[in-house]
Chains A and B, each alone.
Chain A
Amino acid sequence: NAGVTQTPKFQVLKTGQSMTLQCAQDMNHNSMYWYRQDPGMGLRLIYYSASEGTTDKGEVPNGYNVSRLNKREFSLRLESAAPSQTSVYFCASSRDRNSGANVLTFGAGSRLTVL
């Protein structure tokens, strides 16, 4: 049981380049999330998808776009990378965003460096 799988694990970009982070879950969860984690800042929500076909902005959405491709997959795209987007990105999923428990299962993370 793989849980939440993110690719790539590491990526180095030059300013202005674009890239897509991929995320897939095999737990039949309805909701999926993208977070970034920076030293001294904690985990901050970029975008989330409460269910297939819907996406919503989180706390720090600027410079990012997302696609909920199907129930399993949720991708994060950087159209024109900036050094401020250097971070560790985590994808997570939960059974249902509106349930009381709403326990998140996280992927292992993708470390992105923008030069």
Chain B
Amino acid sequence: EDQVTQSPEALRLQEGESSSLNCSYTVSGLRGLFWYRQDPGKGPEFLFTLYSAGEEKEKERLKATLTKKESFLHITAPKPEDSATYLCAVRSGYSTLTFGKGTMLLVSP
């Protein structure tokens, strides 16, 4: 059974204070690790897909990295508009996605 654990559950940063969110996973044969952003009252919005260890993807202030056991979402010099819940999900074989519980990020001005 695929498992995804995200940490921390919540993170409070000052504007400009860089940090990282963690996603640890256990799967038999990773076919993709996904990061989504969810704003309050809205559905999750796709950010990145990573497929193999060592892969990195960037979008504005966000960079996602992947190892064989975990993924990190690095946030560089965050702004208040980066405040959201960030969800990690994995897919193995031809299964559907298994989501973590998310990290709630609050960036204060």
Contacts of B96 in A (CB 8 A): 33, 45, 48, 58, 97
Q: How many interface contacts (CB-CB < 8 Å) are there between A and B?
A: 51
With CB as the reference atom, state the residue of chain A lying closest to B32: A100
Please determine whether A40 and B101 come into contact, CB atoms closer than 8 angstroms: yes
Residues of A contacting B29 in the complex (Cβ-Cβ under 8 angstroms)? none
CA distance A107 to B46 in the complex (A): 12
| B42 adjacent to A42 (CB under 8 Å) | no
- CB atoms of A103 and B101 under 8 A apart: no
Q: Is the CB of B94 within 8 A of A101?
A: no
Contacts of A105 in B (CB 8 A): 46
Give the interface SS of chain A, mostly helix, strand, loop or mixed. loop
Q: A58 contacts which chain B residues (CB < 8 A)?
A: 96
Q: Return the contact of A43 from the options B31, B41, B51, B99 (Cβ within 8 A).
A: B99
- Residue of chain A at shortest CB distance from B4: A42
Verify if A74 is at the interface (C-beta below 8 Å from B): no
Question: Cβ of B94 and Cβ of A103 under 8 Å apart?
Answer: no
Contact (Cβ within 8 A) A101 B49:
yes
Contacts of B43 in A (CB 8 A): 4, 90, 92, 106-109
B contacts, CB < 8 Å to A: 31-32, 34, 36, 41-46, 49, 51, 87, 89, 91, 94, 96-97, 99-102
Given contact pairs A45-B96, A98-B94, enumerate 19 new A-B contacts (beta carbons under 8 Å): A42-B99, A42-B100, A44-B99, A45-B97, A90-B44, A92-B43, A97-B94, A101-B32, A101-B49, A102-B97, A103-B34, A104-B36, A104-B97, A105-B46, A106-B43, A106-B44, A106-B45, A107-B43, A109-B42
